[in-house]
């Protein structure tokens, strides 16, 4: 299919952010086209979803196609520190909403969403990279380079930038801003998991606290393989020498629960490293464009917020783009889009910071956990970070800090 030279909306990137926005805008009757730099399926990290993203997948009409893939159902998340367990079950969360989601190999998941877009007659051009954008009054001109080196120009009334780590518009327009998050590193791999059935909850995503600054994800997939990754300060990894395989094997053996389960597992590819992934930008919107997904702000992987924030931002942005295309004037992008998204990001930021400064450990691993409070925190971990009836959303910072201090003082008193 040849590239359309003139469209209502050009979407950059075919990850969850791009495809969800494209589908919702297409359903409103507009002419949408997606350009994607890579050929799918392609690897991307971000395998544990949160229940809140199901609402966006549903609105994009992707749910049936994803269900048909039989990905591993995710009903909660388990945190383990020094043998102590804190298990969240989404069926016990405070906010009414989805009580489950999936753990997905992203190559397959993202390809499913992309295929659905094509089935909806949204032209999707793989191996087509955006290299330049010029914004004019009422339209834009985007330069793309195709896999065979051809340069084309696409005129669009509006651009949705869902380019994730590519950060196309922030880079081209100088909007990138340094993140305030501490730089961290990960070493991760997909592994065979022949001993999975011996685990207490074999298919539950589990986060192990390795030391107070280093944690490990274990994300079982329905294909029998499991994603395992260490996250910590870059210096932590320096004491592990050798090839990536040797380093990763040594890391597995350094955590008793992992040594038992994965000590003899095979690695499906050479373990990969990522570093300093947190990113942010001055603005999430501008004349003729909106940023969605990771291009806006990405904090940290510990609470699996990335795909959910990508999905929710696209769901929200798509509806505002439709209003713009329908000729509505005075759309309040600042309050109705950017501030709204930042509200959710800020809730997650409190929990991410609380994880790394240890204050959440006092709450998660307290001897007597209050079920009502835990259900409110469970809703945050399910991605319902806009429900202001939840005190652990509305007054997130104060409540997390106060509760943590109180529980720490109880421990000291004993
Ligand atoms: C270590 C780590 C672990 C993580 N774990 C989780 C997790 O468990 N759960 C979770 O929800 N999130 C997780 N994340 C975050 C997750 O990776 C992202 O939030 C998510 O992929 C964002 O989706 P997106 O659609 O915005 O971008 P992406 O999925 O990155 O898609 C963007 C697409 O844009 C394309 N693109 C880029 N540049 C261009 C260009 N110039 N022209 C055309 N196309 C372009 C790319 O090829 C890509 O396919 C993790 C992140 C890290 C770093």
**Contacts of residue 212, Cβ cutoff 8 Å, sequence gap at least 6:** 358, 361
Whether residue 414 has pLDDT greater than 70: no
- Calculate mean pLDDT across residues 105-109: 98
- Calculate mean pLDDT across residues 60-74: 98
163, 205, 297: residue to mutate for ligand 1 pocket, most atoms within 8 A of CB: 163
Q: What is the pLDDT of residue 276?
A: 85
**Which amino acid residue places its CA nearest to atom 30 of ligand 1?**
164
Topology of domain 185-275, per CATH? D-Amino Acid Oxidase; Chain A, domain 2 (3.30.9)
In ligand 1, the atom with minimum distance to the C-alpha of 131 is 41
Whether residue 140 has pLDDT greater than 90: yes
Residue spans of the domains in the chain: they are: 6-73+101-178+278-343, 185-275, 359-413
Give per-residue pLDDT as tens, 149-178: 999 999 999 999 999 999 999 999 999 988
In ligand 1, the atom with minimum distance to the C-alpha of 164 is 27
Burial class (CB in 10 A: 0-12, 13-18, 19+), 190: buried
C-alpha 164 – ligand 1 centre gap (Å): 5
- Calculate mean pLDDT across residues 133-151: 96
Handedness of CA 301, 305, 308, 312 (dihedral sign): negative
Give per-residue pLDDT as tens, 15-55: 999 999 999 999 999 999 999 999 999 999 999 999 999 99
Q: Phi and psi for 239 in degrees, rounded to 5? A: -80, -5
Q: What is the pLDDT of residue 178?
A: 82
Confidence at 413, pLDDT banded by 50, 70, 90: low
Give per-residue pLDDT as tens, 244-300: 999 999 999 999 999 999 999 999 999 999 998 888 899 999 999 999 999 998 889
Instruction: Write out residues with Cβ below 6 Å of ligand 1.
Output: 12-18, 35-38, 44-49, 129-130, 162-166, 168, 186, 274, 277, 293-294, 298, 301, 304, 306-308, 310
Cross-strand partners of 140: 135, 156
In ligand 1, the atom with minimum distance to the C-alpha of 229 is 1
Question: Over pLDDT 90: what percentage of the chain?
Answer: 94
- Calculate mean pLDDT across residues 69-77: 98
In ligand 1, the atom with minimum distance to the C-alpha of 277 is 53
CATH code of 6-73+101-178+278-343, in short, is 3.50.50.60
**Other CB atoms within 10 Å distance of the CB of residue 340:** 17
DSSP letters for 385-405: TT-TTSHHHHTHHHHHHHHHH
C-alpha closest to that of 351 among 307, 305, 308: 305
């Amino acid at each position: 299919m040849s590239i359309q030279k003139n469209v209502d909306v050009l979407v950059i990137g075919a990850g969850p952010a791009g495809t969800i926005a494209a589908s919702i805008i297409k359903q409103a009757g507009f002419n949408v086209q997606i350009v994607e730099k890579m050929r799918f399926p392609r690897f991307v990290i971000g395998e544990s979803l949160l229940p809140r993203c199901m609402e966006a997948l549903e609105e994009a009409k992707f749910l049936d196609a994803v269900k048909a893939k039989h990905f591993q159902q995710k009903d909660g998340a388990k945190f383990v520190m020094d043998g102590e367990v804190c298990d969240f079950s989404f069926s016990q969360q405070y906010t009414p909403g989805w009580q489950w989601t999936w753990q997905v190999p992203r190559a397959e998941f993202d390809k499913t969403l992309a295929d659905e877009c094509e089935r909806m007659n949204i032209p999707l051009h793989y191996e087509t990279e955006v290299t330049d954008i010029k914004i004019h009054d009422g339209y834009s001109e985007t330069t793309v380079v195709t896999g065979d080196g051809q340069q084309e120009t696409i005129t669009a009334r509006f651009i949705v930038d869902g380019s994730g780590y590519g950060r196309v518009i922030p880079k081209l327009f100088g909007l990138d801003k340094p993140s305030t998050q501490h730089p961290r590193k990960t070493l991760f791999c997909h592994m065979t998991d022949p001993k999975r059935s011996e685990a207490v909850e074999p298919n539950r995503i589990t986060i192990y606290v390795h030391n107070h600054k280093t944690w490990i994800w274990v994300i079982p997939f329905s294909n029998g393989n499991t994603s395992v990754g260490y996250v910590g300060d870059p210096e932590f990894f320096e004491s592990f020498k050798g090839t990536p395989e040797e380093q990763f094997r040594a890391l597995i053996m350094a955590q008793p629960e992992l040594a038992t389960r994965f000590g003899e597992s095979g690695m499906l590819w050479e373990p990969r490293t990522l570093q300093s992934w947190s990113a942010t930008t001055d603005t999430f919107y501008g004349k003729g464009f909106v940023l969605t997904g990771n291009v806006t702000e990405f904090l940290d992987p510990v609470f699996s917020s990335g795909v959910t924030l990508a999905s929710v931002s696209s769901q929200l942005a798509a509806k505002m783009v439709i209003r713009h295309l329908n000729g509505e004037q005075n759309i309040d992008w600042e309050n109705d889009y950017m501030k709204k998204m930042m509200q959710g990001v800020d809730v997650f930021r409190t929990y991410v910071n609380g994880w790394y400064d240890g204050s959440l450990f006092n709450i998660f691993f307290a001897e007597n956990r209050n079920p009502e409070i835990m259900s409110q925190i469970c809703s945050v971990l399910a991605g319902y970070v806009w429900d202001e009836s939840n005190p652990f959303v509305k007054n997130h910072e104060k409540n997390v800090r106060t509760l943590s201090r109180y529980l720490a003082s109880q421990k000291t008193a004993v």
